[in-house]
Amino acid sequence: MPEDHQPKFATVAVHGGAAPDPTTNARATPIYQTTSFTFDDAGHAADLFNLEQFGNIYTRIMNPTQNVLEERIATLEGGTAALATASGHAAQLLVMHALMSPGDEFIAAKQLYGGSLNQFGHSFKKFGWTARFADCNDPDSFKALINDKTKAIFIESIANPGGIVTDMESISKIAKEAGIPLIVDNTLATPYLCQPKQFGADVIVHSMTKFLGGHGNSLGGILVDCGTFDWMASDKFPTLSAPCPGYHGKVLGEMFGPMALAIACRVVGLRDLGPCISPFNAFLIATGMETLPLRMRQHTENALHVARFLKNHEKVAWVSYAGLSDSPYHERAKRYCFKGAGAVFTFGLKGGFDAGVKLVNSVELFSHLANVGDTRSLIIHPASTTHSQLTPDERTAAGAGDDVVRLSVGIEDAHDIILDLERSLDKI
């Protein structure tokens, strides 16, 4: 291809970061199932450990299979570098570990995946980090919570499970005015539907377990450094702007510039906390990535058909899907996710909590489990499962009230998906 040609999305999804293996000429990316890697000599080893040269040392820190996956997703998101981790929660932990110190705060949307609400609101407190929660429908609510301890803002591009499309540009402006990074969880949209960097994100995280891998067979997370934040502009982020005691006083922000956050998360956070992805899981997710654009087109097309069916069903009180023309988020979805509003959405049953439990117990094609983004259609009643640890008010605020059912619409035939729901609704 010409040197100035930029490959399109589908091409990068297949080829990004990968090439035939130089030793064996294997076309598929090998699974480098090894714990560690040999050094050329003592000088080579010293250069790697002192960050003077890039290369493989130990699979907890990096691995060639993992590297293919990281390059592929960084390219699709328009970032400078990425770091794959054991799970989406691990990616969030490593980002915050690089940005936060004991006593620091960050602001998160209250409309988040229930696991993130628990991680932020409870487990992070043990690190001395405090999460303040704002309303993603009200950007000014983020601004009102900023103080001199605030180190970041965290939102989801499409909120899970409520299906809210977040006004990223408005919240990004608030973050920039405060001199703090905007972190966007892009799990439900994927870079196929939305690229948060275009709308002001500085850091992007994913649970690769979901749509990126796409087949419900492997856990993984990733963080993407967009290369847009100047970590040296203030002393707010000493992990990046101050001498690093673990590397003889080197200043990571000076050394690595626009990829400094991704490097810091790798050589400090991942090295010391250890939530690395296995080479096998990296291989499975990278393979799943090759069909991402094909799957996302089918997911979103099916989801729109299912949402329209439910909207007109007598036992359904409401449907929250931004792909519907009467959704309050429809215009925002066309702006931020112009290829479709995703495949995960919620709806409310007129029969409330008991009807939700009855529905998930009646489906046959749908799988009743706690996951999204699978090729298979999935269903869950959040109030009794994923959000059950929250108070009733917290569940309602997160879009997971007692009447709520969440669907992750798969890539089966839309007629079969709707038929399963129709027969199950009839049993309520």
**Residue 212's pLDDT is what?**
98
**Residue 1's pLDDT is what?**
62
Q: Is the peptide bond before 161 cis (omega within 30 degrees of 0)?
A: yes
Contact criterion met (CB below 8 Å) for 29 and 283: yes
Determine the Cα–Cα distance for residues 378 and 372; give it in Å rounded to an integer: 7
**Residue 54's pLDDT is what?**
93
Domains detected in the chain: 10-288 (3.40.640.10), 293-426 (3.90.1150.10)
Q: Is 238 exposed, middle or buried (0-12, 13-18, 19+ CB in 10 A)?
A: middle
- Compute φ and ψ for 46, nearest 5 degrees: -65, -40
**Residue 162's pLDDT is what?**
74
Q: What does each C-alpha distance from 294 to 14, 220, 289, 306, 336 come to in angstroms?
A: 11, 21, 10, 19, 20
Determine the Cα–Cα distance for residues 224 and 73; give it in Å rounded to an integer: 8
Determine the Cα–Cα distance for residues 321 and 405; give it in Å rounded to an integer: 12
Determine the Cα–Cα distance for residues 364 and 369; give it in Å rounded to an integer: 12
**Residue 47's pLDDT is what?**
95
What is the value of pTM for the model shown? 0.95
**Residue 133's pLDDT is what?**
97
**Tens of pLDDT along the chain (428 residues)?**
667 788 999 999 999 999 998 889 999 999 999 999 999 999 999 999 999 999 999 999 999 999 999 999 999 999 999 999 999 999 999 999 999 999 999 999 999 988 899 999 999 999 999 999 999 999 999 999 999 999 999 999 999 877 899 999 999 999 999 999 999 999 999 999 999 999 999 999 999 999 999 999 999 999 999 999 999 999 999 999 999 999 999 999 999 999 999 999 999 999 999 999 999 999 999 999 999 999 999 999 999 999 999 999 999 999 999 999 999 999 999 999 999 999 999 999 999 889 999 999 999 999 999 999 999 999 999 888 877 777 888 777 767 788 999 999 999 999 999 999 999 999 99
Residues 133-142 have pLDDT tens digits of 999 999 999 9
* Ramachandran region, residue 249 (left: φ > 0; alpha: ψ -120 to 50; beta: rest): left
